[in-house]
Amino acid sequence: MNSSTEPIQTELVLVGGGHANIQVLKSFGMHPIAGLRVSLISDVINAPYSGMLPGFVAGEYSYDEMHINLVQLANFANARFIKTNITSIDTLNRRIHCEGRPEISYDLISVNTGITSDFGDIKGAREHCIAVKPISHFLSHLPNLDATVTTPKDVIAIIGSGAAGIELAFAFRARFNQKNIKPKIILIGSAERFFPTLPKKCHQTIYEQCRKADIEVHLGQVATQVSNKVVTLNSGVQLAASHTFLVTGAKPSEWLKTSSIDLTSDGYIEVNNAYQSISNNRVFAGGDIAKIKHQPRPRSGVFAVRAGPILAKNLRLALKGMAVQPHQPQSRYLSLIMLGNGTVMALWDRFYISAKWLWPVKKWIDQKFISNFSNLPDMKESTHSSIKLSEKELMVEKDPLLEKMHCAGCGAKAGAHLLDTVLPIAAEMAAKLGGDKRYLPNLNIVADSAEFPIAEFLDSNQTMVQTIDSISQMISDPFLFGRISALHSLSDLVVSNTIPLTALSLITLQRAKRNLQESDLTNMLAGAMFEFSRAKVTLIGGHTSQSYENSLGFALTGIKNKSTPSKAYLPSFASNLEPLSVILTKPLGIGLLLAASMRNQAPDGAYQNCVDVMLTSNTSAAEFLWQNGVLAMTDVTGFGLARHIENVIQDIETNFNVKMGAALFLHKIPILEGASKILENTSIRASLSPSNKNSVRNFKDLNTKNTSLIDILFDPQTSGGIVAVVPTTNADKLVAHMQESIAPKTAIIGSLSFDQTGIIVN
């Protein structure tokens, strides 16, 4: 996330990556506001475009073509992306409660989370039906459907004869036609005919298309029970069905019931015709989750798309302290419904037309919409407008953010009230997440220094070990950043066979309004405390200051035995020239993919892959290796793999007076998915890569064809894996155990020998 010298005065949080909110996000990316921070909260990284779902099922579109990458869109808008599930919204204190993490503050909020399926009174539906809402849930079941529908005897039943059910039936027929499989497809609906409010001829047209596509239709009948093999109708008819899909009935998410937002009688957020909550002027909502008071409308993506520009406009007006502008929703709208054999039906009010020439029209409309969020322009510095929303609050609270001259040096220190407020909340959250309370901090910390009893740990064979590390915020989610920072710091001790005991924090907070700083710091500290408590480490103090971006570091203290396995094993290996193997426990490419993600050029899934790797602790891997004959190890961090291997070699040579070199097998080095593509097809590299390459003193490339792939050896890692030296005779056994239960991506990547120097790459 790009840093700014402008302090944060206001936080706009977009809850949900629906069709309306993504338009709001792009709008604020195109025309930013100084002092405004925008955050997007979503439970998915890739947001599906519902208009393309039938085409995707039918094989007309790929997964990427129908999804919008929310991380890339957030990067474009210089916004935070936070992947989590919402549990409630507290409008009184302006807090968003999330699953498994601290709450998030907001000043203005826009909710566009969509809806979920309502299984209603259909007995067994929840257990045996696959709901089409949410779409991500439905898509996760398609691979199993493809694997199990293999013969004409297989039966797919679809409950729901509205537009979505009709499209899904024809899409399934097209999907399996491509596989030369013709399963039985059944369409069930409670209405007596398709689209009862339209002319009967419209129903007859769709019915005839169903007949041509061999889709069995049961209308005017309600499904009352579903088992894993049968759908029972209210008429008593039982229909065999090996797969049943529910495309009827929808309801708002359950978390709305525990939120302090006024809802309609059926649970939707009630808004006025400016998409502003009727009960709270800081809450806006659009799409399926909202209902405009006295203006009922059907659930349709058309309205969510239309709501986007109106929401963006009114949110800007609210930020400027101006009155929002109502709009008059259209009473008529166009619907395009995919039928069989390339035919599309267009509906407008009571008029309809069915034709094949409408398919390219629908395709053009859908692709044009989604291209707005995938083909993003390069943004330059622009003039920002101002914010009025927070001025009164800042003045009432005498928030130091209003000070015209911001002090440096000790004057930049964060206020005492900040830690007084945040520490208890962060500690409580870390405990709720499962952190060990014995290792959570003393909440009465008042001094910059701290004492910790060590007599019970130390004896004559032990020494104290200290380390310090600090990283700037490389991902926008402050809670995950706190976790990663703690794991990154812990790694230095665990790879040196040291038991970590205590930590001191070094925190830099971006200048912001008081409640936003509290929210950021709570999330960062709760994440760090959670990981420290799991490692039996106590945070005993620290220092907090303010600047232009967030950063987080820790000084750790631990104890270590004076003798380590390497001191016993290495001399014998050196004297006998026995072979040694080099293993790596995590894939490389973190720096590369984060750099690509910042430029919106990372492959799909790259962001989550990086986060998953960084959140994997090295503690278990290090403990196992130290207990099973490892000769030397270090963690792979900012210097890159090659330089860290060189450091290991230098340490061995110094301690045991031997000469040693490494041979690395490039094709055996585990690499994060998508990193190879970036290396081969772009010039993107992490900023430290060139200096890392220059820092390796003795490096030889022997006939390596893929020269671009060599750059992975110099890619800086944050919370990277362990590179370790083990006896070759035991390497395969160690790696197999680690792959099975500790570090699945562990691999033998090379060897060390006593008859060469430097690093050779084959």
DSSP annotation string for 447-510:
SSS-----TTT--TTEEEEEEEEEEE--SS-HHHHHHHHHHHHHHHHHTTTEEEEEEEEEEEEE
pLDDT category of residue 296 using cuts at 50, 70 and 90: low
Instruction: Give the model's pLDDT for residue 179.
Output: 92
Q: 446 Cβ partners below 8 Å, 6+ apart?
A: none
Average confidence score pLDDT of the chain: 87
**Whether pLDDT at 35 is above 60:** yes
Ranges of each domain in the chain: 10-114+252-331+358-374, 125-251, 411-561, 565-761
Angle between helical axes of 619-627 and 728-741 (0-180°, round to 10): 150
Percent of the chain with pLDDT over 70: 87
| Span of 430-434, 469-473, 581-585 with lowest mean pLDDT | 430-434
3-state secondary structure of 588: strand
Distance CA 221, CA 235 (A): 7
pLDDT tier, 703 (very low <50, low <70, confident <90, very high otherwise): low
Question: Strand, helix or coil at 11?
Answer: strand
Tell me what percent of the residues of the chain surpass a pLDDT of 90.
Answer: 59
CA distance 186 to 465: 69
Count CA atoms within 13 Å of residue 568 on its CB side. 9
Whats the size of the chain, residue-wise?
Answer: 762
Residue 395's pLDDT is what? Answer: 60
Half-sphere exposure in the Cβ direction for 666 (13 Å, CA): 20
B/e letters for 135-167, b = 16+ CB within 10 Å, e = fewer, are beebbeeeeebeeebeeeebbbbbbbbbbbbbb
| Residue 700: pLDDT over 60 | yes
For the ranges 57-66, 409-418, 434-443, 584-593, which has the lowest average pLDDT?
A: 409-418
Question: CB under 8 Å to 479, separation ≥6 — which residues?
Answer: 82, 101, 102, 523, 524, 526, 527
Q: Specify whether domain 411-561 bears CATH 3.30.420.80.
A: no
Give the Cβ contact number of residue 386 at 10 Å: 13
Range in 20-29, 69-78, 116-125, 279-288 the model is least confident about:
116-125
382 band by pLDDT with thresholds 50, 70 and 90: very low
CA-nearest of 556, 610, 561 to 721 is: 610
Residue appearing with tokens 């409660």: 97
Q: Is the pLDDT of residue 617 over 50?
A: yes
Q: Do domains 10-114+252-331+358-374 and 125-251 have the same CATH topology?
A: yes
Q: Domain 125-251 belongs to what topology?
A: FAD/NAD(P)-binding domain (3.50.50)
Please, are residues 79 and 4 in contact by the beta-carbon 8 Å criterion? no
Decide which of 3.90.380.10, 3.40.605.10, 3.90.1260.10, 3.90.650.10 is the CATH code for 565-761. 3.90.650.10
In the three-class reduction of DSSP (H, G, I as helix; E, B as strand; rest coil), residue 743 is classed as coil
| Neighbour-count burial for 430-454, b at 16+ CB within 10 Å, e otherwise | bbebebbeebbbeeeeeeeeeeeee
Mean pLDDT throughout 455-475?
82
Give the per-residue pLDDT at 411: 44
Interval 726-750: pLDDT, tens: 999 999 999 999 999 999 999 999 9
Mean pLDDT, residues 629-645 taken together: 91
The pLDDT tens digits of the residues spanning 661-699 come to 999 999 999 999 989 999 989 999 998 888 888 888 888
Instruction: Look at residue 447 in the predicted model and tell me its pLDDT.
Output: 47
DSSP 339-376: -STT-EEEEETTEEEEETTHHHHHHHHHHHHHHHHHSP
CATH for 10-114+252-331+358-374 is: 3.50.50.60
Report the SS3 class of residue 247.
coil
What is the CA angle 141-145-151, rounded to 5? 175
Angle (deg, nearest 10), helices 619-627 and 478-494:
10
Contact yes or no for 481/606 (Cβ under 8 A):
no
Residue 418 pLDDT greater than 80, yes or no: no
Handedness of CA 233, 237, 238, 239 (dihedral sign): negative
pLDDT at 465: 87
Write the CB contacts of 394 (distance below 8 Å, at least 6 apart in sequence): 9, 401, 402, 513
